[in-house]
C-alpha cells in the first residue's frame, strides 16, 4: 500500500512518521531540537541541525519498518513559524535562523515607526519585534555581511523541502505577513521601510508539489528518491487541519511549547491584538500565536518539584496539594504575543497567601493560560459576529484531563481533544491526501483520516466562578503591564 513520510519540525524536537494514506501509523521517530538563546531577547537555531535531525529520523524509521522506507509516495512537512531562514544564491544558510522567540528587532521597529510614511501605512499596526519585516531590517542594520549574501528568506519547512528536492518555494499562509508587506510597488510597506530585495521564492499552496526527492541523498532517504514533496505550511495551520478545525464556527487551540488560539470564520474581520489570515478558500483565521502555554506549566512544575520523576507524576502530586482559595496568575513568563504583543510584560501571581499550597500555583498556571485563551476568543467572536460552537484542542498541553476541563469551564464551550498525540503529522497527511487528489479540499482530506476525540463539556457552577476570576484578570491587566515595564527598565539599566 502507498505510504507517506510526514515530518513536524517543532522548536524542541522533530517528529517524523510513516503513515498509510488511510491514516494508519506505521512508525514514529522523535529527534531533539534546541534553541541558542540568552535570557532576554535572542533565540536562534542552525538550519543544518534540522536537516541532520531529518536524516536521523529517517534512518530510525527505516529500521522500525519491515522492509524499510519503501512505497513512499509522498512527503509533507510542517514546521514552526515566525522564523526566518536566510539563504544565499545556492540555498545555503548565511547565518543561524531567527526564530519565533527572538525579540531583538524591538528597537528597530520603534525607530521605523518614527517615519511618517511608515506610521501612516495601513499595515503598520501589525509591526512588532516578531514581524518578519522587522527581522529583515534588524539583519540589514546589524549583520551587513549576512544581509548582503541573502538572496532568499524562507520558513524552516521550506529549507527542509529544498534540501530534499533542490527546489525552493514557500506557501502563502506561512508567508502572509511578508507577502503583504512586499505588495504595492513603491508604496509597499517593505519598500518604505528600506527593504527592496525580492527575497521570497515561488509561492505554492500547501498541497502543491515543490519537487521530487533527489536521488543523491545519503542514508535511508535514498530509498524514497522520486517521492512527491508537497509545499506544506506552518505547524499551527497544519495541526488545526489535523484536528478537523478548518471549518467555520470552530475554535482551535494548539498548546505546545507556546500557545496558539483562534477561531475559523467565513468573515474577513479585524480585532485588536489578533491576526487575521486567509487559511483556505473563503475561510479566515482570527487569533494568533502566544508565547506562554504548556511551557509555563512545565516551568512551574519543574521549579516546585525539581526531581527525576516523570513530569506527569510530579504534576499529579502537586495537583493533589491544593486549598480552596482563589489565586490569580498572569502567565507572561516570556512576554506575550497575541493578544498583547508586549515583549516586556511579565508574569504575576495575585492574592497569594501563606494558606495557599503548591497545587494552587499549578492550578493558577492552567487558569491563567486559559484566561488568555478567553481574551482571544471574545475578541475574535465579537469581530466575526459569530460564536464558536466548540474548541478543538491539541498539543502537549492537551494531554492533561484536569487542564482540559478548566479550559472548557473558562471558555464556556465544549473542548474537543484529539486522542492522537501527533496531530501535526495528521495535518501533514491531510495535505498529502489533498495533493494526491484523494479529497476535494483540506477539510474533507482531514475527515478521511480516522482519529479518536475526547469531549469536555463546560460545567455551569465552575463557569460562574471563573467569570468572577476572569473579570479580576481583565481589571488587573493594566497594572501588570505598567509594573512589568518599570521592572524591565530597571533590569536593563546599567549597574553602578
pLDDT of 225 over the 90 cut: yes
Contact assessment for residue 367 and residue 329, using Cβ atoms and an 8 Å cutoff: yes
> How far apart are the C-alpha atoms of 279 and 264, rounded to whole Å?
8
| Averaged pLDDT score across all residues of the chain | 94
Q: Name the percent of the chain lying above pLDDT 70.
A: 98
Is pLDDT at 37 greater than 60 in this prediction?
yes
State pLDDT tens for residues 239-280.
Answer: 999 998 998 889 999 998 788 999 999 989 999 999 999 998
pLDDT digits (tens, 9 = 90+) for 168-199: 999 999 999 999 999 999 999 999 999 988 89
Cell of 496: 553602578
Q: Is 435 a residue whose pLDDT tops 60?
A: yes
Across the range 104-108, mean pLDDT stands at: 91
The rounded radius of gyration (Å) of the Cα atoms in the chain is 22
Nearest to 270 by CA among 133, 166, 380, 386: 380
Contact between residue 96 and residue 49 where contact means Cβ atoms under 8 Å apart: no
Render pLDDT for 50-75 as a digit per residue (tens, 0 to 9).
999 999 999 999 999 998 998 999 99
Residue 33 is classified by DSSP as: -
Q: What domains are there in the chain, each with its CATH number? A: 3-233 (3.30.420.40), 247-496 (3.30.420.40)
Q: What gap in Å lies between CA 75 and CA 494, rounded to an integer?
A: 51
Of 80, 105, 418, the closest CA to residue 257 belongs to 80
Whole-structure pTM value: 0.84
What is the C-alpha separation between 462 and 469, in angstroms, rounded? Answer: 11
Distance CA 376, CA 94 (A): 37
Give SS3 for 5.
strand
Q: Tell me what pLDDT residue 451 has.
A: 72
Q: Coil, helix or strand for 140?
A: helix
The DSSP letter of residue 338 is: T
Average pLDDT score over residue span 139-154 = 96
C-alpha cell at position 423: 496531530
494 confidence band (pLDDT: 50, 70, 90) = confident
Amino acid at each position: 500500500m502507498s505510504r507517506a513520510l510526514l515530518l513536524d519540525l517543532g522548536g524542541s524536537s522533530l517528529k517524523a512518521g510513516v503513515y498509510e494514506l488511510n491514516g494508519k501509523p506505521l512508525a514514529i521517530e522523535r529527534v531533539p531540537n534546541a534553541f541558542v538563546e540568552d535570557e532576554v531577547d535572542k533565540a536562534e537555531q542552525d538550519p543544518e541541525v534540522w536537516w541532520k535531525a531529518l536524516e536521523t529520523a529517517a534512518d530510525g524509521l527505516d529500521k522500525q519498518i519491515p522492509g524499510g522506507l519503501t512505497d513512499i509516495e509522498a512527503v509533507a512537512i510542517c514546521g514552526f513559524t515566525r522564523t526566518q531562514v536566510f539563504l544565499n544564491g545556492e540555498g545555503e544558510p548565511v547565518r543561524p535562523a531567527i526564530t519565533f522567540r527572538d525579540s531583538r528587532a524591538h528597537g528597530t521597529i520603534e525607530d521605523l515607526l518614527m517615519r511618517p510614511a511608515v506610521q501612516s501605512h495601513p499595515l503598520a499596526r501589525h509591526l512588532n519585534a516578531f514581524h518578519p519585516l522587522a527581522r529583515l531590517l534588524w539583519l540589514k542594520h546589524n549583520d551587513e555581511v549576512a544581509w548582503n549574501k541573502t538572496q532568499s528568506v524562507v520558513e524552516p519547512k521550506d529549507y527542509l523541502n529544498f534540501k530534499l528536492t533542490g527546489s525552493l518555494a514557500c506557501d502563502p499562509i506561512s508567508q502572509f505577513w511578508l507577502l503583504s508587506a512586499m505588495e504595492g510597488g513603491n508604496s509597499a510597506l517593505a519598500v518604505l521601510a528600506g527593504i527592496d530585495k525580492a527575497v521570497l521564492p515561488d509561492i505554492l499552496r500547501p498541497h502543491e508539489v515543490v519537487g521530487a526527492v533527489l536521488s543523491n541523498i545519503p542514508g535511508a532517504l535514498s530509498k524514497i528518491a522520486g517521492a512527491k514533496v508537497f509545499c506544506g505550511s506552518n505547524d499551527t495551520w497544519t495541526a488545526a487541519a489535523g484536528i478537523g478545525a478548518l471549518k467555520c464556527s470552530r475554535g482551535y487551540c494548539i498548546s505546545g511549547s507556546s500557545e496558539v488560539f483562534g477561531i475559523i470564520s467565513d468573515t474577513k474581520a479585524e480585532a485588536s491584538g489578533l491576526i487575521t489570515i486567509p487559511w483556505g478558500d473563503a475561510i479566515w483565521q482570527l487569533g494568533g500565536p502566544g508565547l506562554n502555554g504548556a511551557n509555563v506549566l512545565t516551568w512551574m512544575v519543574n521549579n516546585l518539584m525539581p526531581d527525576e520523576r516523570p513530569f506527569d507524576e510530579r504534576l499529579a502530586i502537586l495537583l493533589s496539594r491544593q486549598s480552596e482559595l482563589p489565586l490569580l496568575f498572569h502567565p507572561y513568563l516570556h512576554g506575550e504575543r497575541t493578544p498583547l504583543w508586549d515583549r516586556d510584560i511579565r508574569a504575576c501571581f495575585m492574592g497569594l497567601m501563606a494558606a495557599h499550597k503548591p497545587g494552587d500555583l499549578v492550578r493558577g498556571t492552567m487558569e491563567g493560560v486559559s484566561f488568555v485563551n478567553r481574551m482571544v476568543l471574545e475578541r475574535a467572536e465579537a469581530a466575526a459576529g459569530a460564536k464558536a460552537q466548540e474548541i478543538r484542542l491539541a498539543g502537549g498541553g492537551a494531554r492533561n484531563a484536569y487542564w482540559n476541563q478548566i479550559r472548557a469551564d473558562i471558555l464556556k464551550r465544549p473542548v474537543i481533544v484529539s486522542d492522537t498525540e501527533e496531530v501535526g503529522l495528521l495535518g501533514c497527511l491531510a495535505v498529502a491526501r489533498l495533493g494526491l487528489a484523494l479529497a476535494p479540499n483540506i477539510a474533507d482530506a482531514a475527515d478521511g483520516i480516522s482519529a479518536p476525540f475526547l469531549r469536555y463539556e463546560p460545567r455551569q457552577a465552575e463557569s460562574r466562578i471563573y467569570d468572577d476570576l476572569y473579570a479580576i484578570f481583565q481589571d488587573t491587566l493594566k497594572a501588570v503591564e505598567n509594573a512589568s515595564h518599570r521592572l524591565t527598565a530597571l533590569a536593563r539599566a546599567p549597574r553602578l
